[in-house]
Structure 1
Amino acid sequence: MPRTKREKEVSLTKVKKKTKEAKSGMINEVKHCAESYENLYVFSVDNMRSDLFLEVRQHFKANSRFFFGKNNVMAVALGRTKEAECQKNLHKMANSLKGQRGLMFTNVPDEKVIKYFEEFRHKDFARGGQVATETIELSEGPLPQFSFSMEPQLRKLGLPTKLEKGQIELYKDFHVCSENETLNAEQAKILKILGIKMSEFRFVLHKRWQRSTGKILEIEE
């Protein structure tokens, strides 16, 4: 009986080789950027949204380059020690790559970069696992913003609802969430239904390096 495609064996040595080549390629790209761009920023992203991150990339497409998500590889490329750094003082930037952080190489003047990210903030609905920014309580009584057909959905999410003459009502007060509480999936869904946005996508710039001088600037949040 012939073997199916699902049973096809894959050489693990080839997979490892490909991964090694990818890391090597990224290291070379980071080093090339360190030689080509005037400014380098270490950044993090609050409440990541891939579509908004793509929008940032597109905005700076003509004069910048972003690397995100592989701290160890980026740190090796910059150089973890003074002896290994590819440009003056870059080992200090490499050592600040902790947690979910990335690199932005750019020729855009510093004041324009900072101004852009100060203004580029987008409110969004929180997801399960994020922290509530305020306390939300619903009082007993009618919920006129919802059509009667949503009553089963609200009840399924735990709201004490009933239909009264075709209108949804809470038959007792309901606590949705508390400030600084970690939201679960149900709470996040309730907040979305209520139209309450507690999440904000934003770039946080931590450090800036200038190639022409080798100076590093700590950026106040």
Structure 2
Amino acid sequence: MPKSKRDRQVTLSKTKKKGREHKETIVNTIRQAAEDYSSAYVFSFENMRNHKFKEFREQLKSNSRFFLGSNKVMQIALGRSESDEIRMGLHKISKVLHGDAGLCFTNLPKEEVERLFNEYEEYDFARTGSISTEKVELKEGPLEQFSHEMEPFLRKQGMPVRLNKGVIELVSDFLVCDEGKPLSPESARILRLLGTKMASFRLHLICRWSPGDFEQYAPGPDDSVPRAIFEFVLICGRSLNIAISAKSQITAS
């Protein structure tokens, strides 16, 4: 006789939520990292790419520990004020943990950390809604980089194409995207097919903490600050650091 779908056992006893246990584990892990490493950094990121960030973390795996996730949980772990901070001064970095931010605990020298973060940049394909960094326009004529099987797909993306003796060709000029404007889903797909990477994945240092020392590099990515202004400040600061570094090298030589 087939088993009735209604014949199911239901446990009525209360159980602890897995989410709470997971958060407690993260809090304890962060607090242990604060004891194990000599310094801590808050960083922000643009155009996060998980696989790229994983590679960056692997490079520093032997002497650093990264945390990304709930800012509130990280703030609780570090302490939000002098009265509940786990080490003196840690509440200062807790205050700038807002928006797209993460934590890095490390034993690397300050100069090495600054160099790694300032120089890091990886390009990837832009996603829907990203701002186009350049104008991309395809001219009328054959598109020999695409096989004839792709003609229906390209047509669905809004491209005025046809097959001519087995070769896809544009019957008129086609604007894929315009500089400074958000990418549509169709534009993002076409750019990927063209191999055009517009998204720049970057990491920006916000502040540094070590026992008895605190340094702020840039304002934290607070939601109350317009993102465009925040990124402008970061880019200017980054350019200044590169210029100073280059000048120091010239002077030293």
TM-score, scaled to structure 2: 0.78
Q: Which residue number in structure 1 is paired with residue 15 of structure 2? A: 14
Q: Which residue number in structure 2 is paired with residue 166 of structure 1? A: 166
Partners in 2 of 1:83 and 1:101 — Cα distance? 24
Note if contact 1:89-1:216 (Cα within 8 Å) is conserved in structure 2: no
DSSP-derived class of the 2:105 partner? strand
Cα distance, 1:142 vs. partner?
A: 2.1
Q: Which residue number in structure 1 is paired with residue 98 of structure 2? A: 98
Note if contact 2:207-2:214 (Cα within 8 Å) is conserved in structure 1: no
- The verdict on how the C-alpha distance between 1:29 and 1:126 changes in structure 2, with shifts beyond 3 A counting, is same
- The verdict on how the C-alpha distance between 1:6 and 1:103 changes in structure 2, with shifts beyond 3 A counting, is farther
Q: Which residue number in structure 2 is paired with residue 25 of structure 1? A: 25
Partners in 2 of 1:128 and 1:158 — Cα distance? 16
**Correspondence 1:196 to 2:222:** no
Note if contact 1:69-1:100 (Cα within 8 Å) is conserved in structure 2: no
User: How many residues are aligned here?
Assistant: 219
Q: In structure 2, what residue type is equivalent to 1:63?
A: N
Deviations 1:140-180 (A, max 9, x none): 22222223232222112110011223322211121111222
**Greater CA deviation, 142-151 or 195-204?**
142-151
DSSP-derived class of the 1:162 partner? strand
- The verdict on how the C-alpha distance between 1:4 and 1:62 changes in structure 2, with shifts beyond 3 A counting, is farther
**Greater CA deviation, 148-157 or 191-200?**
148-157
Alignment gaps of 5+ in structure 1: none
Note if contact 1:160-1:174 (Cα within 8 Å) is conserved in structure 2: yes
Q: Which residue number in structure 2 is paired with residue 124 of structure 1? A: 124
TM-score, scaled to structure 1: 0.88
DSSP-derived class of the 2:15 partner? helix
DSSP-derived class of the 2:112 partner? helix
Q: In structure 2, what residue type is equivalent to 1:14?
A: T
Q: Which residue number in structure 2 is paired with residue 112 of structure 1? A: 112
Note if contact 1:210-1:216 (Cα within 8 Å) is conserved in structure 2: no
Q: Which residue number in structure 2 is paired with residue 183 of structure 1? A: 183
Q: In structure 1, what residue type is equivalent to 2:39?
A: N
Q: Which residue number in structure 2 is paired with residue 214 of structure 1? A: 213
DSSP-derived class of the 1:158 partner? coil
Deviations 1:175-207 (A, max 9, x none): 111222222221110111111111122222211
Q: Which residue number in structure 2 is paired with residue 87 of structure 1? A: 87
Q: In the TM superposition, what are the counterparts of 1:3-82 in structure 2 within 5 Å? A: 9=10, 13-16=14-17, 18-82=18-82
Report runs of 4+ in structure 1 exceeding 3 Å deviation.
1-13
DSSP-derived class of the 1:14 partner? coil
DSSP-derived class of the 1:26 partner? helix
- The verdict on how the C-alpha distance between 1:6 and 1:153 changes in structure 2, with shifts beyond 3 A counting, is farther
Partners in 2 of 1:160 and 1:47 — Cα distance? 31
- The verdict on how the C-alpha distance between 1:10 and 1:218 changes in structure 2, with shifts beyond 3 A counting, is farther
Partners in 2 of 1:201 and 1:6 — Cα distance? 52
Note if contact 1:88-1:214 (Cα within 8 Å) is conserved in structure 2: no
- The verdict on how the C-alpha distance between 1:188 and 1:8 changes in structure 2, with shifts beyond 3 A counting, is farther
Partners in 1 of 2:40 and 2:12 — Cα distance? 39
Q: In structure 1, what residue type is equivalent to 2:163?
A: L
Q: In structure 1, what residue type is equivalent to 2:76?
A: V
